[in-house]
Amino acid sequence: MPVSGLGPYDEQNIFARILRGEIPCRKVFEDEFALAFHDIAPQAPVHVLVIPKGPFVSFADFSAQADTAMIAGFFRAVGTVARQLGLEVEGYRLLANMGKLSGQEVPHFHVHLFAGKPLGRMLVAPAAGE
């Protein structure tokens, strides 16, 4: 069942189009389970997105619906990306927004990988009025 206002999977969402090669991306890694590419609006010196190769709207959808091989393969790919980018010595942060309150914008499950500077506290306070 769709959750948190995201609706059913939209085959025209931007990451589906990137997966199909209809929109370019700065690819950093690809295997049978996942594609990783640089975020178009980086919020840290390293800001990479890792997305599964399947029609999953969100983490909630992915964790409930993806088969075990996909879940394992996807999360192994996230670790491989971090290792291949040389991030393990200094460290990095993983983040996945899920649904309305998190501010998830793209309705295709993705993990953000941030690194390259001290990343501060975990949550940034919302702007006044939010």
Among 38, 47, 108, 110, which one carries the catalytic annotation?
Answer: 110
Residue 110 designated active-site: yes
State which residue, 14 or 71, has the beta carbon closest to ligand 5GP. 14
Residue with Cβ nearer ligand 5GP (22 or 88): 22
What lies within 8 Å, CB to CB, of 3 at 6+ separation is 58, 60, 61, 99
* Amino acid sitting at position 124: V
Convert residues 102-121 into a mask of x (bound to ligand 5GP by CB under 6 A) and - (unbound). -xxxx---------------
Range 118-123, long-range pairs (CB < 8 A, 24+ positions): 119/44, 119/93
CB of 25 to ligand 5GP, least distance (A): 5
Assess 7 for contact with ligand 5GP (CB under 6 A).
no
Please report, as residue ranges, which positions from 12 to 41 form the binding site for ligand 5GP (by CB under 6 A).
14, 23, 25, 37-41
86 is written with which tokens? 């040389």
DSSP string for residues in 11-65: TTSHHHHHHTTSS---EEEE-SSEEEEE-SS-SSSEEEEEEESS---SHHHHHHH
Residues with a known catalytic role: 110
Binding site residues, ligand 5GP, CB under 6 A:
14, 23, 25, 37-41, 49, 97, 103-106
